Structure 1
Amino acid sequence: MGLLLLAFCAFVVPGNLGAQEKGSLLVMPLPALDVQGEGEFLIDGHFGISLKGYREPRLEQARHRFLDTLSQETGIPLWRQAILNPPHFIVQTAGPSAAVQQLGEDESYHLEISTTDVQLTAPNPIGVLRGLQTFLQLVTITPRGFSVPVATIDDKPRFPWRGLLIDSGHRFVHISAIKRNLDGMEAVKLNVFHWRFADNQGFHIESKKFPLLQEKGSSGFYYSQDVVREIIAYARDRGIRVVPEFDMPCHTASWFLGYPDLASGQDPSRSSAIDPTRESTYKFLTEFIGEMAALFPDSYFHAGGDECDVKEWEGNPRIQGFMRAHVIKDGAALQVLFTARIQKIVAGRKKIMVGWDEVLQPDTPKDVVIQSWRGPNSLADAARNGNRGVLSSGYYIDLNQSAAEHYMVDPLGDSAATLTPDQKPRVLGGEATMWTDIVSDENMDNRIWPRTAAIAERLWSPQQVQDVDSMYQRLAIISQKLGYYGLRHRLITDEMLERMSGELDPTPWKVLAAVVQPPRLYERQELRTFTDFTPLNRLDDAVPPESDTAR
Structure 2
Amino acid sequence: MLSHQSLKSRHSRFLLATVFSLFVGSLHAQEAVLPIMPLPAHVTRGQGEFVIQTSFTIAITGHNEPRLERARQRFLDILTRETGIPFSREVSSQAVFIAKAEGPSVEVQKLGEDESYRLVITSADVQLTALSPLGILHGLQTFLQLVGVTPRGFSVPAVAIEDSPRFPWRGLLIDSGHRFVPVAAVKRNLDGMEAVKLNVLHWRFADDQGFHIESKKLPLLQQKASGGLYYTQEEVREVIAYARDRGIRVMPEFDMPCHTRSWFLAYPELASRGAADSAGFDPSKESTYKLLATFIGEMAALFPDAYFHTGGDECDPKEWESNPRIAQYMREHKFANGAALQAMFTGRVEKIVAANKKIMVGWDEVLQPNTPKDVVIQSWRGQASLADAAREGYRGVLSWGYYIDLNQSAAEHYQVDPMGDAAAKLTPEQQARILGGEATMWTDIVSHENMDNRIWPRTAAIAERFWSPQEVRDLDSMYARLSVVSQKLSYYGPRHKVVTEEFLERMSGDPDPMALRVLASVLQPPRLYQRQELRSDFTAINRMDDAVEPESETARQFDEICKRIVAGKALPADWQQARAWLTMWRDNDAKLQPELARSALTQDLAPVSKKLAQVAEIGLGALNALEHGEPIAATRRQESIALVQSAEKPVSVLLIMPAASVQRLLEATKEASVQN
1:529 to partner: Cα distance? 2.7
Matched to 2:95, the amino acid is P
1:268 to partner: Cα distance? 1.2
Check if 1:191 corresponds to 2:199.
Answer: yes
1:362 to partner: Cα distance? 2.0
Matched to 2:22, the amino acid is A
Equivalent residue number for residue 389 of structure 1: 396
Matched to 1:55, the amino acid is N
Matched to 2:367, the amino acid is L
Equivalent residue number for residue 36 of structure 2: 27
In the alignment, the residues of structure 1 paired with residue 510 and residue 282 of structure 2 have an alpha-carbon distance, to the nearest angstrom, of 54
In the alignment, the residues of structure 1 paired with residue 536 and residue 356 of structure 2 have an alpha-carbon distance, to the nearest angstrom, of 39
Q: Provide closer, same or farther for how the CA distance between residues 330 and 14 of structure 1 changes in structure 2, counting only shifts above 3 A.
A: closer
Equivalent residue number for residue 3 of structure 1: none
1:213 to partner: Cα distance? 0.6
CA deviations on 1:57-102 (whole Å, 9 max, x unpaired) are 0000000000000000000001426x34720100111000110000
Matched to 1:42, the amino acid is V
1:452 aligns with one of 452, 459, 462: 459
CA deviations on 1:95-131 (whole Å, 9 max, x unpaired) are 0011000000000000000001000000011000000
Check if 1:99 corresponds to 2:107.
Answer: yes
Equivalent residue number for residue 535 of structure 1: 540
Q: How many residues align?
A: 537
Matched to 2:514, the amino acid is T
Q: Is the 8 A contact 1:189 1:456 kept in 2?
A: yes
TM-score (norm 2): 0.78
In the alignment, the residues of structure 2 paired with residue 473 and residue 527 of structure 1 have an alpha-carbon distance, to the nearest angstrom, of 33
Alignment map for 1:379-458 (pairs within 5 Å): 379-458=386-465
Q: Provide closer, same or farther for how the CA distance between residues 17 and 472 of structure 1 changes in structure 2, counting only shifts above 3 A.
A: closer
CA deviations on 1:327-368 (whole Å, 9 max, x unpaired) are 111110100000010011101111000000000112211110
Equivalent residue number for residue 141 of structure 1: 149
Alignment map for 1:255-266 (pairs within 5 Å): 255-265=263-273
Alignment map for 1:243-282 (pairs within 5 Å): 243-265=251-273, 267-282=274-289
Matched to 1:429, the amino acid is G
1:530 to partner: Cα distance? 2.5
Give the gaps of 5 or more residues in structure 2.
1-12, 27-32, 557-676
In the alignment, the residues of structure 2 paired with residue 221 and residue 507 of structure 1 have an alpha-carbon distance, to the nearest angstrom, of 36
Check if 1:493 corresponds to 2:500.
Answer: yes
- SS, match of residue 79 in structure 2: helix
2:377 aligns with one of 358, 370, 379: 370
1:18 to partner: Cα distance? 3.1
In the alignment, the residues of structure 1 paired with residue 241 and residue 450 of structure 2 have an alpha-carbon distance, to the nearest angstrom, of 26
Equivalent residue number for residue 609 of structure 2: none
Equivalent residue number for residue 299 of structure 1: 306
RCO comparison, higher one (Cα < 8 Å, 6+)? 1
In the alignment, the residues of structure 1 paired with residue 390 and residue 436 of structure 2 have an alpha-carbon distance, to the nearest angstrom, of 12
Alignment map for 1:140-219 (pairs within 5 Å): 140-219=148-227
- SS, match of residue 59 in structure 1: helix
Matched to 1:103, the amino acid is L
Matched to 1:146, the amino acid is F
1:15 to partner: Cα distance? 6.1
- SS, match of residue 119 in structure 1: strand
Matched to 2:66, the amino acid is P
In the alignment, the residues of structure 2 paired with residue 119 and residue 212 of structure 1 have an alpha-carbon distance, to the nearest angstrom, of 54
1:305 to partner: Cα distance? 0.2
Matched to 2:157, the amino acid is P
1:54 to partner: Cα distance? 0.5
TM-score (norm 1): 0.96
Aligned sequence identity (%): 69
In the alignment, the residues of structure 2 paired with residue 292 and residue 15 of structure 1 have an alpha-carbon distance, to the nearest angstrom, of 49
Equivalent residue number for residue 62 of structure 1: 71
CA RMSD, Structure 1 to Structure 2 (Å): 1.3
Q: Is the 8 A contact 1:14 1:142 kept in 2?
A: no
Equivalent residue number for residue 49 of structure 1: 58
In the alignment, the residues of structure 2 paired with residue 500 and residue 284 of structure 1 have an alpha-carbon distance, to the nearest angstrom, of 46
In the alignment, the residues of structure 2 paired with residue 209 and residue 203 of structure 1 have an alpha-carbon distance, to the nearest angstrom, of 15
In the alignment, the residues of structure 1 paired with residue 535 and residue 513 of structure 2 have an alpha-carbon distance, to the nearest angstrom, of 28
1:441 to partner: Cα distance? 1.0
Equivalent residue number for residue 5 of structure 1: none
Q: Provide closer, same or farther for how the CA distance between residues 425 and 16 of structure 1 changes in structure 2, counting only shifts above 3 A.
A: closer
Q: Is the 8 A contact 1:192 1:242 kept in 2?
A: yes
1:454 to partner: Cα distance? 0.2
In the alignment, the residues of structure 1 paired with residue 256 and residue 535 of structure 2 have an alpha-carbon distance, to the nearest angstrom, of 26
Equivalent residue number for residue 480 of structure 2: 473
Q: Provide closer, same or farther for how the CA distance between residues 308 and 117 of structure 1 changes in structure 2, counting only shifts above 3 A.
A: same
Give the gaps of 5 or more residues in structure 1.
1-10
In the alignment, the residues of structure 2 paired with residue 207 and residue 389 of structure 1 have an alpha-carbon distance, to the nearest angstrom, of 29
In the alignment, the residues of structure 2 paired with residue 404 and residue 14 of structure 1 have an alpha-carbon distance, to the nearest angstrom, of 21
Q: Is the 8 A contact 2:59 2:92 kept in 1?
A: no
In the alignment, the residues of structure 1 paired with residue 532 and residue 199 of structure 2 have an alpha-carbon distance, to the nearest angstrom, of 31
Q: Is the 8 A contact 1:200 1:253 kept in 2?
A: yes
Matched to 1:202, the amino acid is G
In the alignment, the residues of structure 1 paired with residue 542 and residue 352 of structure 2 have an alpha-carbon distance, to the nearest angstrom, of 43
1:222 aligns with one of 206, 220, 230: 230
- SS, match of residue 361 in structure 1: coil
Equivalent residue number for residue 329 of structure 1: 336
In the alignment, the residues of structure 2 paired with residue 203 and residue 286 of structure 1 have an alpha-carbon distance, to the nearest angstrom, of 17
1:14 to partner: Cα distance? 7.3
Q: Is the 8 A contact 2:19 2:35 kept in 1?
A: no
Q: Is the 8 A contact 2:457 2:482 kept in 1?
A: yes
Check if 1:546 corresponds to 2:551.
Answer: yes
The structure where helix makes up a greater share of residues is 2
Matched to 1:460, the amino acid is W
1:243 to partner: Cα distance? 0.3
- SS, match of residue 100 in structure 1: coil
- SS, match of residue 429 in structure 2: coil
Matched to 2:265, the amino acid is L
Matched to 1:322, the amino acid is Y
In the alignment, the residues of structure 1 paired with residue 88 and residue 79 of structure 2 have an alpha-carbon distance, to the nearest angstrom, of 9
Q: Is the 8 A contact 1:336 1:359 kept in 2?
A: yes
In the alignment, the residues of structure 2 paired with residue 79 and residue 482 of structure 1 have an alpha-carbon distance, to the nearest angstrom, of 23
Equivalent residue number for residue 125 of structure 1: 133
In the alignment, the residues of structure 1 paired with residue 198 and residue 493 of structure 2 have an alpha-carbon distance, to the nearest angstrom, of 17
- SS, match of residue 377 in structure 2: strand
- SS, match of residue 346 in structure 2: helix
In the alignment, the residues of structure 2 paired with residue 411 and residue 14 of structure 1 have an alpha-carbon distance, to the nearest angstrom, of 32
Q: Is the 8 A contact 1:355 1:369 kept in 2?
A: yes
In the alignment, the residues of structure 2 paired with residue 315 and residue 446 of structure 1 have an alpha-carbon distance, to the nearest angstrom, of 43
1:17 to partner: Cα distance? 4.0
Q: Is the 8 A contact 1:303 1:355 kept in 2?
A: yes
Q: Is the 8 A contact 1:165 1:433 kept in 2?
A: yes
In the alignment, the residues of structure 1 paired with residue 535 and residue 514 of structure 2 have an alpha-carbon distance, to the nearest angstrom, of 30
CA deviations on 1:393-431 (whole Å, 9 max, x unpaired) are 000000000000000000010211211111000000000
1:113 aligns with one of 97, 116, 121: 121
Equivalent residue number for residue 462 of structure 1: 469
Q: Is the 8 A contact 1:443 1:542 kept in 2?
A: yes
Q: Is the 8 A contact 2:19 2:480 kept in 1?
A: no
Equivalent residue number for residue 8 of structure 1: none
Check if 1:310 corresponds to 2:310.
Answer: no
